[in-house]
Structure 1
Amino acid sequence: MTTSNTQNQMDLRHQAKERVAQQGLPMTTIDTDPQKLLLELQVHQIELSMQNEELRRTQENLEASKVIYFELYNLAPVGYCTLSETGRILQANQTAATLLGVAPQDLIEHPIRSFILKEEQDTFHCHTQELFATGELHSCDLRMVKADGTTFWVHLRSIGALDAEGKRLCRTAFIDITERKRAEEALREQKEFFHLIAENLSDFIAVLDVEGRRLYNSPSYEQFFGAPEDLRNTDSFAEIHSDDREYVRQVFYETVRTGQGQRIEFRFQMADGSVRDMESHGSVIKDKDGRVVRIVVVSHDITERKRLQEQVRQMAFHDVLTMLPNRRLFCDRLSQAIAASSRSNLFGALMFLDLDNFKVLNDTYGHDVGDLLLIEVADRLKRCVREMDTVARLGGDEFVVMLSQLDLENAESSAQAGTIAEKLRVALEQPFLLAVTDAANVQTTIEHRCTSSIGVTLFDQHEASPASALKRADLAMYLAKTAGGNQVRFFDAGDECGK
């Protein structure tokens, strides 16, 4: 060791001792070995160097974190502001400045209320009051104003905090929800439009889940089932007529399965026991994956339409006065009876009836009274035959009666037909009591005796046509009338030659 190094060590030792003495430490705590002391100093020096290096790296990481933080803070899609208790902006990120249409530095110390629409000031005031009162996270929707006067909707979320001096702060985040609000408004308008249509339509609109439970019913259902609210989550098949229920259920599930609606007719069974005819058409609502999630059913009451259709049908195939089958329907039934006879080999019988003194009643009292007689004649004839038989009016005072499914034998069938024909003749020769009301609204009763001439013929599987059977029965009736009337006459093959 050189003299210079030794001197340095001694100087270092002396300085160390002085520092120790200044600190009031006992001198015995310092090792007097120069080599050892130097080693310790070198170790401490290295430790300090390492600590300084660690501190430098920590500071660099901190600076890097600050850079990342500020980048994330400024580039976040959400506007961030720190507000004083009085509402001044203490800090704001780039997004907040962009949303408000000003430079970030121009926001500092600016009152946030200047960016709140006047109509929303009370909403914001309540928001901050609740925030500072509870210290909890609060949120609200309100409209803000950009620097250029443009308004936009934001969703505001704020939480209370304290600064280093213990002063209350408000940390606020907000995002632009203008498009969402527009979509909500459009949806609201669509809903109002739908409800306006649904509430003013006479049709019945129901929205069902895939199990057929009601989710919505238009107010028009009230006329059937009471308040629409009472129907929610109820089974839509419950009120369907028991004879139609399974059919409707099958159509519904087929619609769910295929996504294709069908137009069907069915009957509703009302609580009072009455029945309404309905026509419905279903359509589907699908989710984003294409699965059927709702069924919309539009129905309307076709009871009146059905009634009118039946009325038209009755007018086409029935006599308007007596409601008996007319010539057209009777000939159709006679054709069916002839076809049935060919399968069963059973005879049928056809009777042609003509009233003997009907013209006298018409001439004396008028056609209105004659109509009353014809109605009563129709009722008496229907009471004399079986339900499977047919009574029809061909026109005027001419009626026909068809007996089907009599017997396999001609003689027995003739006997059965003769018995029924005689029953008809006797029923019609009984006096008719006809109640007539005159122009003065005075009601009187007219007694009239009206006999009949009845021609009878049998038919079987060999019958040529309905027209030929009618011709034979008509001829037999003509012979009965020319013989004095009020009698039954069976057709005989020789009658045609005689005529």
Structure 2
Amino acid sequence: MKKTAGNISFRAKWSASRWGLVLLAVLPALLGAYFIVEVLVLAGPVASAAAPNGPVRLLPDWQNLLLPTLLLWLFFALFALLVTRRAYISGRSEQRARARDFFHKLDQLTRNLPGFVYQLQRDPDGRWHYPYASEGVSKIFGVTPEQVAADAETLMGRIHPDDYDRVVRESLQTASRLEPWVGRFRMIHPDGRLLWIEARDTPQKLPDGSILWTGYANDITEHKELEEALRTSEATFRAYVENANDIIYAVSPEGVLTYVSPNWTEILGHELAEVVNRKFDLYTHPDDLARSHEFLRNIEVNGQKQEGYEYRIRHRNGEWRWHTANASPLFDEQGKVVGIVGITRDITERKQAEARITRMAHYDALTDLPNRSLFVEMAQHALASARRQGGKIALLFVDLDNFKPVNDQYGHAVGDLLLQQVARRLTGCLRAADQVGRISGDEFIVLLHTVDRHPDAFTAADKIRAALHQPFMIEERNLQISASIGIAIFPDHGGEIGELLRHADHAMYQAKEAGRNTARLFMPDQPPLAAGKREAEG
């Protein structure tokens, strides 16, 4: 235990008292000797023989003051003794009061704890005793703190014989290194019940060589019973695992698969021997590896369950399957994450359905070309890139000539087939980086990246016109159409996609006014075709 100012004060006061007692014992002895010698010399036979002419003084007259002086000294010594003794008694009372107050507060703090706080001391002679045990000891063992303080065997004697030597050995070993100790062991309740106790304490060495452990003990019997129940039900649990629809797996923090349930083979095709003790990297899609490692790292660092991680995993036939995983950490007795266990489910069909829905939202169902919203999004990215690099892009607004008569004469089914073939021809005319979309009916829009000069846009437009002017063979019918194309170029004709689309549309109607099957660059001073005339010419 640590020395306090109060302890030091007590020792100083006791030291003073001790020397006062010594003086009190020595002075009377000296005075008694002095008087005996005086009597013998002055009055006894020694005086007659030694001094026939009269009494002889033992000391000169001036030294006869020694007696009063000694008496005065004795008075002050006795006075100092009384003062120091009173201070010593007062100090001890104060120390006891502080100790009672401390333990009272400690009892208040520990009263609602499920276990109990204790101090266990081993003296240099090997005797054990409890300087303190909180009220919680009564709840667990049915004994009072006073009984424990009176006899350490009240508790220590109830440690199970098979655990006693281990508990003492471990306690002394950790004490020799002044390290905290955590132990689980069995104890026998006074009514005969077997209890499991978990104790955590910290040792310290006292000046007299004693060892004092301060710690906390709790009844974990219920927890141990649950552990035992879990072990006994392992066979049942394994049966559940092996017959589950989802894959149950265990992986080390390093990413090594330490266990997979047998249905892995049914779901992913690999034999278990091909998978267990191998890194999951071998089966995870390369694009998902970084996210997979982050998923496991979050569990290890945070020590918490993670859910809903979606990734692709390779089937034995080479196909990539989509899975979703939940996982939780496994801890050792020190609370360190030593593994991860989880469940993974095949969601390939769901992901495919989501992909179809996403495609329907962004692609034209008839031609499989990007629809207006997706095309505008792609065009905005291209425009932003051109603005950063100081380049040009071009939008070509393509409207089919004479499509309406074909649709009216042969029906919408033939018209749809014609639109599908137009989409394929448009795609075949473009570079890999360029894009085409269908924005409505018989209107298409083309995005040309990196246009250096205006003639580059006309070259692409002429190529498209030539391709679409070739006859289309649909249901043994030879159909002939053409295309009118309007061209708008960034940044010459606008700084935003919406503005460029309007100007390309304007230029397309200028091409129709010029006789169809032609291309026109946007000219802001030339008005577009009147609305009524546009619809009539279709």
* TM-score, length of structure 2 as denominator length: 0.52
Is contact 1:351-1:401 (8 Å) kept?
Answer: yes
Equivalent residue number for residue 510 of structure 2 = 479
Equivalent residue number for residue 258 of structure 2 = 215
The alpha-carbon distance between structure 1 residues 228 and 319, as it changes in their structure 2 partners (threshold 3 A), is same
The alpha-carbon distance between structure 1 residues 312 and 225, as it changes in their structure 2 partners (threshold 3 A), is same
**Aligned runs of 1:34-433 on 2, under 5 Å?**
187-189=231-233, 191-193=235-237, 195-196=239-240, 198-222=241-265, 223-228=267-272, 230-263=274-307, 264-407=309-452, 413-433=453-473
Q: Secondary structure at the match of 1:273?
A: coil
Q: Secondary structure at the match of 2:245?
A: coil
Is contact 1:261-1:281 (8 Å) kept?
Answer: yes
The alpha-carbon distance between structure 1 residues 396 and 289, as it changes in their structure 2 partners (threshold 3 A), is same
The alpha-carbon distance between structure 1 residues 195 and 275, as it changes in their structure 2 partners (threshold 3 A), is same
The alpha-carbon distance between structure 1 residues 462 and 353, as it changes in their structure 2 partners (threshold 3 A), is closer
Is contact 1:338-1:460 (8 Å) kept?
Answer: no
**How far apart, in 2, do the equivalents of 1:195 and 1:300 lie?**
18
**How far apart, in 2, do the equivalents of 1:225 and 1:211 lie?**
24
Shift of 1:404: 2.1
1:453 aligns with 2:484: yes
Once the two structures are aligned, what percentage of the paired residues are identical?
A: 37
Shift of 1:353: 0.9
The alpha-carbon distance between structure 1 residues 286 and 482, as it changes in their structure 2 partners (threshold 3 A), is same
Q: Which has the larger radius of gyration?
A: 1
Q: Secondary structure at the match of 1:496?
A: coil
Matched AA of 1:432? F
* TM-score, length of structure 1 as denominator length: 0.56
Is contact 1:213-1:235 (8 Å) kept?
Answer: yes
Is contact 1:282-1:297 (8 Å) kept?
Answer: yes
Unpaired stretches in structure 2, ≥5 consecutive residues? 1-159, 162-223, 531-538
**How far apart, in 2, do the equivalents of 1:498 and 1:284 lie?**
70
Show CA shifts across 1:297-342 (max 9, x none).
2222232222222222212121111111111122222223332232
Unpaired stretches in structure 1, ≥5 consecutive residues? 1-76, 79-179, 408-412, 437-444
Is contact 2:306-2:327 (8 Å) kept?
Answer: yes
Shift of 1:392: 0.7
Is contact 1:345-1:461 (8 Å) kept?
Answer: no
Shift of 1:273: 2.5
The alpha-carbon distance between structure 1 residues 245 and 332, as it changes in their structure 2 partners (threshold 3 A), is closer
Matched AA of 2:478? E
Equivalent residue number for residue 520 of structure 2 = 489
Equivalent residue number for residue 140 of structure 1 = none
The alpha-carbon distance between structure 1 residues 195 and 230, as it changes in their structure 2 partners (threshold 3 A), is farther
Matched AA of 2:296? F
Matched AA of 2:384? A
Equivalent residue number for residue 109 of structure 1 = none
Q: Secondary structure at the match of 1:494?
A: coil
Q: Secondary structure at the match of 1:233?
A: coil
Shift of 1:265: 2.7
C-alpha RMSD of the superposition: 3.0
